Amino acid sequence: MRLFDFLTSTKRPVAGTAFMSADEVRKCLLSVNRPTAPYRVIDGASEGVDLIAEWKIVDASWNEIFAKAGLTKTFNIFMKLHPEEHKVRAVDREYTVSWSAGLPTVKLAVSAFRGQTQSIEFGKAYAFTETLAPGQVYNYHFDTREIKKPIQEAVISCGWTYKGVAFGKL
């Protein structure tokens, strides 16, 4: 571990780990997708990157959970593979979310964030339930590490370095 790796979310593979090809790294990153996860990794060609990890905020099965929780920010990781260096360079981006009739409307924040971030949003609400008895209506916990950690582990398992970028070119 280098001196400032913790500030940039940089993770390095164990010495001696064999390098996989860029295609294998891409497949490994896409394999972190699972139906029960509140995030997904998708192709990022439309944004000029290789892959994007994002909360499933527009997915119908997760939409209601995010809306009830009153989530006000959405978090994305934009990733670019650099095969010559065996690195995945990644930048975090946060966007403000507003809800209208339970549907998300993503709006860019006036003060956009680009760099490396860690944030946790959580909350509980109590009210009358469907049985008209008082009880917990929802309990949520969204942590950016829930997206970042499986991605970092996938990258380093391929012998590559996950390099968080705050400034400069992705």
Look over the chain and give the mean of its residue pLDDT values, rounded to a whole number.
78
- Supply the Cα-derived Rg of the chain in whole angstroms: 18
Q: Which two tokens stand for residue 149?
A: 């950690």
Indicate the SS3 state at residue 69.
helix
- Pick left, alpha or beta for residue 134 (phi over 0 → left; psi -120 to 50 → alpha; otherwise beta): beta
pLDDT at 112: 42
What angle, 0 to 180 degrees and rounded to 10, lies between the N-to-C axes of helices 145-157 and 22-30?
A: 150
Distance CA 9, CA 115 (A): 10
So where are the chain's domains? 5-56+74-95+104-117+143-164
- For residue range 94-143, what is the model confidence (pLDDT) as tens digits? 776 665 655 555 544 433 455 556 665 555 555 555 566 676 655 555 67
Chain-centroid distance of CA 163 in Å reads 15
pLDDT at 107: 47
Whose tokens are 């590490």? That residue is 145
Answer yes or no: is pLDDT of 54 > 70: yes
- For residue range 74-91, what is the model confidence (pLDDT) as tens digits? 778 999 999 999 999 999
pLDDT at 144: 78
pLDDT at 51: 98
Indicate the SS3 state at residue 156.
helix
- For residue range 63-74, what is the model confidence (pLDDT) as tens digits? 666 666 666 667
User: Which of 23, 43, 13, 31 minimizes the C-alpha distance to 162?
Assistant: 13
Chain-centroid distance of CA 116 in Å reads 11
Distance CA 57, CA 147 (A): 13
Answer yes or no: is pLDDT of 25 > 90: yes
For the beta carbon of residue 105, count every other beta carbon within 10 angstroms.
10
